[in-house]
Amino acid sequence: MNTEFDREMRSPDWERVFARQALRVPLLDEWFALLDARPGSRIADLGCGPGFVSLELARRVGPAPAVVYAVDRSADAIDYLRTQAALYGLDHIVPLVADLETLDGLPGEIEAALLAMTVHHASDPVAMLHSAGRLGGEGAPLVVPEFHPDGPATVGPPAGARLAPSTLQAYARQAGLTCTTYRRQTSEHYVCAFLPA
């Protein structure tokens, strides 16, 4: 069971984080369906870390003119992602270093945004959801997978650091978002989709 939790992600081993992200493969089809990710889509992966999901999303929507904006506050994580994207020739990934709690725009328009396993790291979850939910404008879904507090906590943060779906949805309402979808994906995971109210 995971008993240590680094909320700030101060100096993680990004290679190990990337390997942990790779365990999410069974969840991705549902996330990508909620994003309506298809060839040519322009999507943001917010809080992407070292970018395993960004790479998979880029494969799903690419090549250009599709775009995946991969955004994280860690310059080291973004550097790791840049290396991986170059290795696989995924030049339609646009890596950006930014704080998601204050992010007020992207270099181009998007049709949807993914905020995967990130809100539980936020010092201000409402601000993060508000910023993320406004990036795509009206009609652009924000898809938010998280770890369920009732799960066995064999992966991800300990139960005490997880957000109950009702808590996430309450934060989202405060951020001006309406929940359109809730699904329990596994014993550990759930996903919500939101639209601007």
CATH assignment of 14-196? Answer: 3.40.50.150
User: pLDDT tens-digit profile of 116-155?
Assistant: 999 999 999 999 999 999 999 889 999 999 999 999 999 9
137 vs 103 pLDDT, higher one: 103
Residue 3, pLDDT score: 39
With a cut of 90, say whether residue 11 has pLDDT above it.
no
Cα distance between residue 176 and residue 193, in whole Å = 13
Mean per-residue pLDDT, 90-108 = 97
With a cut of 60, say whether residue 163 has pLDDT above it.
yes
Which strands sit side by side in the sheet containing 67-72, from one edge to the other? 93-97, 67-72, 42-46, 112-114, 142-147, 189-196, 177-184
161 DSSP assignment: G
The pLDDT mean for the chain works out to 94
Confidence of residue 2 (pLDDT cuts 50, 70, 90): very low
CB 153 within 8 A of CB 111: no
User: pLDDT tens-digit profile of 54-73?
Assistant: 999 999 999 999 999 999 99
User: pLDDT tens-digit profile of 166-186?
Assistant: 999 999 999 999 999 999 999
Give percent of the chain above pLDDT 90. Answer: 92
Residue 10, pLDDT score: 57
pTM of the predicted model as reported, rounded to 2 decimal places: 0.94
Cα distance between residue 174 and residue 26, in whole Å = 31
Q: Which amino acid is at 142?
A: L
Provide CB contacts within 8 A for 176, sequence distance 6+.
Answer: 130, 133, 196, 197
